[in-house]
Structure 1
Amino acid sequence: MSDFIEKLPEDARLWLEGKRLDEVECIVPDLSGIARGKAMPASKFAHQAHFYLPNSIFLQTINGDWCQAADAEFTEPDMVLKPDFTTASAAPWTADWTLQVIHDVFDQKGEPVPVAPRNVLKRVVELYRSHGWDPIVAPEMEFFLVARNTDPNQPIEPPIGRSGRRAAARQAYSMSAVDEYGKVIDDIYDFAEAQGLEIDGILQEGGAGQIEMNLRHGDPVKLADEIFYFKRLIREAALRHDCFATFMAKPIQDEPGSAMHIHHSVVSLETGRNIFSDEDGNETPEFMHFIAGLQNHMASAIAVIAPYVNSYRRYVRDFAAPINLEWGRDNRTTGLRVPVSPPEARRVENRLPGMDVNPYLGIAASLACGYLGLMEKSDPRPPCVGDAYNQSEGISESLGVALDVFEEADALRGVLGEEFCKVYEIVKRTENAAFLQVISPWEREHLLLNV
């Protein structure tokens, strides 16, 4: 046991100091970003270098159906899962002393499984590093705290705050609004501290019970791991206080949706400098190429960054969500925004991904588009000045349309990996077909007796 404990990050060792570790959760993010895996006694984990799970965990839809890859029989061969000890983290909400460890996924020949989302992101990062670049990201997380909803036929409602009233909308940046559910926020901070996760800031967003949480910038895989962990800990913190946390893109009608904005910069491995700024602090051609890559290829990636039928309800004019692929300087009406920053922090913010995205795949797709721009050395269209909501070209309006565009996106698929893209498309088309069989309350209300 002592050898295993010595491999843990410092925060995990400090959390366990003087305690007896009871259980280890061996987890893998699936296509939806759900934690799949096994829990085992710590004594067994300490003597087991790897374990197995069937590859079907990447063929399961969000509603529990199973898909079959078009070119293979459904035999469910085992994959080999090996712990990445750098990800070992407390599970502070459990009754006993439990650690979570994210595992890397290999086939039985020792090759990374190309369908695993964490491997997809690693593949894209390695493409950057093969050119002497280190991609840097800084994600923003938006989510809603909502009243418990045990009947899916009932609309989602904001939670009851400490005042005894439901959380109010249109209170962006209000400290009083955040204080309404301060106990949940306190637990989020406490859980994050126990897990060694750093929060850059928390603020009230425009929706009723909607919160934005910013993370510091850093390595894409590490930040995706943190978002994966944060989603779980935020849900657990909410449950402690009789409410739900939801990362749906659009959970409440007539309220804003929740995004996962991604800030991008790229650093030279040789010099450590941001390649988006030259020695005099001016914008470089590489900065323009990266923006152009997002502008030219993000339409093909919409199916990845907006992965569910609900995702497209977020792309609504004048609801603090982008509906275009324009870029602008300090302009929040554009899908691609260049924030105010000093030259060393020059970056572009991709405002298109929703918070329902798998963080590994959302970051991978965004980086893939920027990478293609760097390879193509293309230039973006002129920056948008003024209100970009008047321009809505480039965003698919439904999952089915987005998947059709994704199917034809040879350049993007080459970066993400064709095997992953095939499986992803199969799973998402199966989910879309299942949704189309559902009759909504709107249809029953307006069509049942009127047509």
Structure 2
Amino acid sequence: MAKTDWTDALPEAARAYLEGKRLDEVECVISDFPGIARGKAVPAAKFARQSSFHLPESIFFQTITGDWSDDAAEEGFVERDMILKPDMETATAAPWTADWTLQVIHDAYDRSGAPIPLAPRNVLKRIVALYHAQGWEPVVAPEMEFYLVARNIDPAKQIEPMMGRSGRPAAARQAYSLTAVDEFGPVIDDIYDFAEAQGFEIDGITQEGGAGQLEINLRHGDPVKLADEVFYFKRLIREAALRHDCFATFMAKPIGDEPGSAMHIHHSIIDTQTGHNIFSGPQGGDTDAFFHFIGGLQYHLPSVIALLAPYVNSYRRYVRDYAAPINLEWGRDNRTTGIRIPLSGPESRRIENRLAGMDANPYLAIAASLAAGYLGLIEERRPEPQFRGDAYDSDEGIPRDLAAALDVLEGASAMTELLSPEFVHVYTAIKRAEHAEFLGVISPWEREHLLLNV
């Protein structure tokens, strides 16, 4: 098929991917609550003729197990259609497919043209618009931690590290080891190749503290664009792993005696008129806005832990002295605090939220973190004094299980208004249904220790 006008307007990386090739298929995708890509795959010729397509809003009423929550839809389960329109700036390759395929992220609208408040990308756009209304441009940089593990098709079997190219299982406690990274060389090579084909720039890959645990850092930029990249990267990494007989998992705590996987989120804010970082003053010092953003995170993050830690497994990551802060302290260059100020010059001064898990939906996690900081700026909220020393010795400051986190979210009126009352209603209903499903499963620990002993 000869190139048509719409392919000529594709992003540069997508055009380079298709150079001299015949585009076969376009995957029209949208993120659901877990961050799974939902949508339709259509022939390229059909995509060229359509400006939108329909998908039922019920994709937001499903639990992670595929069941439905009757409490989520206030008007009953009618499965109304959403109108999905492509954001062509997100068009990118699907380089693992057998034919020449593009992926395009779509935005969801109702029949009147209003954004669907349940769509995670719309939730993030809603928060970013609040910043823009104040003359601010929020900037984020996510860090993605994940494990490469041996194939596991038996849920009763414990997850094990993958076998490295040396023929030995991936070793633990080898943080920043280049030798450990080399063990996964073929998988990492495919990750780099896929990322290049999709036009994504990786800032670095490092070995983390867990056996088979890696971290990928992305360049800072627009929150929606970076959330799109994390959304795409999860699929990209999974596909690269499958090529080498292993799984990539983004579970917050896949292996009991290993560290969990986080999605640390770095924030800074640019004044749209001056182009300056509002966290730094004329002489390079900390500004009131810097402290107010920290204050907002300290005060409001408990109300969005259910978005940063969305599953029962997420709370297994919050363990003292296990590389996962369980506090709301802030400190400079201190990785034991939940809120860290990395080493940087005035122009790049930023604030890192270390509480989010890698199992979180990137759109919702970034939206929640930005919303907490935004409220701090608007309320001019002052933070607690800077913490010095080992913050694992400080008081715990966050809900410690999903049910408690949902209670806090439902009681947070200011945060609910920012995220959208309809979204919070549906999200909490789905998560309570998931929690109920989990409580209906009897674990091996219970059978081992309670069956004959109580």
TM-score range, shorter chain: over 0.9
Deviation at 1:129, TM superposition (A): 0.4
C-alpha distance in 2, partners of 1:257/1:151? Answer: 21
Kindly provide the CA deviation profile for residues 161-185 of structure 1, in whole angstroms up to 9, marking residues without a partner as x.
0111100000000000000110000
Equivalences for 1:72-221 in 2 at 5 Å? Answer: 72-221=75-224
Deviation at 1:284, TM superposition (A): 0.3
C-alpha distance in 1, partners of 2:333/2:185? Answer: 31
Q: 2:301 aligns with which of 298, 302, 310?
A: 298
Equivalence for 1:14: 16
Deviation at 1:294, TM superposition (A): 0.1
Q: 1:4 aligns with which of 2, 6, 9?
A: 6
C-alpha distance in 2, partners of 1:309/1:191? Answer: 32
Secondary structure of 2:107's counterpart equals strand
C-alpha distance in 2, partners of 1:54/1:6? Answer: 31
Equivalences for 1:228-243 in 2 at 5 Å? Answer: 228-243=231-246
Q: 1:325 aligns with which of 314, 318, 328?
A: 328
1:388 has 2:398 as partner: no
C-alpha distance in 1, partners of 2:363/2:24? Answer: 29
1:59 has 2:61 as partner: yes
C-alpha distance in 1, partners of 2:337/2:259? Answer: 16
Give the residue type in structure 2 aligned to 1:388: A
1:30 has 2:32 as partner: yes
The total of aligned residue pairs comes to: 451
C-alpha distance in 2, partners of 1:198/1:358? Answer: 20
Contact 2:61 2:73 in 1 (8 A): no
Secondary structure of 1:179's counterpart equals helix
1:48 has 2:43 as partner: no
C-alpha distance in 2, partners of 1:27/1:391? Answer: 43
Gaps of 5+ in 2: none
Secondary structure of 2:157's counterpart equals coil
1:312 has 2:309 as partner: no
C-alpha distance in 1, partners of 2:359/2:53? Answer: 29
Give the residue type in structure 2 aligned to 1:62: I
Kindly provide the CA deviation profile for residues 16-50 of structure 1, in whole angstroms up to 9, marking residues without a partner as x.
00000000000000011000000010010000110
Kindly provide the CA deviation profile for residues 385-414 of structure 1, in whole angstroms up to 9, marking residues without a partner as x.
001001233211110011011110111111
Kindly provide the CA deviation profile for residues 299-335 of structure 1, in whole angstroms up to 9, marking residues without a partner as x.
1111110000000000000001001000001111000
C-alpha distance in 2, partners of 1:188/1:378? Answer: 42
Over the matched positions of the two proteins, sequence identity in percent amounts to 71
Q: 2:382 aligns with which of 375, 379, 383?
A: 379
C-alpha distance in 2, partners of 1:396/1:298? Answer: 10
Secondary structure of 1:281's counterpart equals coil
Kindly provide the CA deviation profile for residues 195-246 of structure 1, in whole angstroms up to 9, marking residues without a partner as x.
0011000000000000000000000000000000000000000000000000
Deviation at 1:70, TM superposition (A): 4.9
Secondary structure of 2:278's counterpart equals coil
Secondary structure of 1:124's counterpart equals helix
Equivalence for 1:262: 265
The runs of at least 4 aligned residues of structure 1 exceeding 6 Å deviation read none
C-alpha distance in 2, partners of 1:216/1:99? Answer: 23
User: Scaled by the length of structure 2, what TM-score is found?
Assistant: 0.99
Equivalence for 2:346: 343
1:364 has 2:397 as partner: no
Give the residue type in structure 1 aligned to 2:255: I
C-alpha distance in 2, partners of 1:152/1:337? Answer: 36
C-alpha distance in 1, partners of 2:9/2:251? Answer: 36
1:280 has 2:291 as partner: no
C-alpha distance in 2, partners of 1:368/1:103? Answer: 23
Contact 2:332 2:342 in 1 (8 A): yes
Equivalence for 1:406: 409
C-alpha distance in 2, partners of 1:32/1:48? Answer: 28
Give the residue type in structure 2 aligned to 1:37: G
User: Scaled by the length of structure 1, what TM-score is found?
Assistant: 0.99
Q: 1:448 aligns with which of 421, 429, 451?
A: 451
Secondary structure of 2:395's counterpart equals coil
C-alpha distance in 2, partners of 1:177/1:446? Answer: 37
Deviation at 1:415, TM superposition (A): 1.0
C-alpha distance in 2, partners of 1:403/1:209? Answer: 32
C-alpha distance in 2, partners of 1:70/1:107? Answer: 15
C-alpha distance in 2, partners of 1:216/1:229? Answer: 15
C-alpha distance in 1, partners of 2:79/2:4? Answer: 35
Deviation at 1:425, TM superposition (A): 0.5
Gaps of 5+ in 1: none
